[in-house]
Amino acid sequence: MTTLIYSHPWQGSFNRAILDGIEKKLRDEGRSFQVIDLVKDGFNPTMTTADLALYNRGETADPIVAKYGDMLQGTDELIIIFPIWWGMMPAIFKGFLDKVLLKGVAYNYSNEGAMLPAFDISRTLLITTSQGPTALYHHFIEDTLISFVLNSVGITGVKWLNCEKTAHGSRENRETFLKNVIKEV
């Protein structure tokens, strides 16, 4: 199953055009997929006291967090779409990572205390948009998000595509990027 995680609040955004293009390609090819639209779903990214009380036990009282965990456990291909704001991901996606990557869902521990990934997602496409040059975000995306977070829970085979100059660049820049994304899906 292919799962798409989408993190943008504006329906008229270029990120939305990316999501729409990917969904169309998946439908046209008859591929099964599911979408986690964090904003549309009303996901609350804030880790509350109640959330934290259950977190170390790998539990949640939030039904949407449990649903997302179940969706990811049945995923073999993952597509993540978000804008880069202030050099990193939107808060709603960070909250998704904080709340959904639970022990017993995303990882476990060996008897020696080593973290063991629980997911087996071997193909991941990470799509971001930014105003600044892609090189500015390499450390955050490649070294932190991909290597430290995603890979550690078994989300591997990550290919990162970033559209720079999204808001103030040319229409041709966005169109070319979208075509390249669709080829990768």
pLDDT per residue over 9-52, tens digit each? 999 999 999 999 999 999 999 999 999 999 999 999 999 999 99
**Residue 184 reports pLDDT greater than 90:** yes
Three-state DSSP class for 3? strand
Domains, the chain, in order of start with CATH, read 2-184 (3.40.50.360)
Q: Which residues contact 88 (CB under 8 A, 6 or more apart)?
A: 94, 140
Residue 75: count of CB within 10 angstroms of its CB: 23
pLDDT per residue over 102-145, tens digit each? 999 999 999 999 999 999 999 999 999 999 999 999 999 999 99
- Residue 116: strand pairing partners: 108
**Residue 56 reports pLDDT greater than 90:** no
Q: Which single residue is written with the structure tokens 């009303």?
A: 42
Complete edge-to-edge strand list for the sheet that includes strand 2-6: 33-37, 2-6, 77-83, 123-129, 158-163
CB 79 within 8 A of CB 124: yes
Kindly report the average pLDDT of the chain as a whole number.
Answer: 97
Q: Which residues contact 185 (CB under 8 A, 6 or more apart)?
A: 22, 25, 26, 79, 125
Q: Dihedral sign, CA of 163, 100, 9, 12?
A: positive
How far apart are alpha carbons 116 and 103 in whole angstroms?
A: 10
Which contiguous run of DSSP H or E holds residue 184? helix 171-184
pTM of the model: 0.97
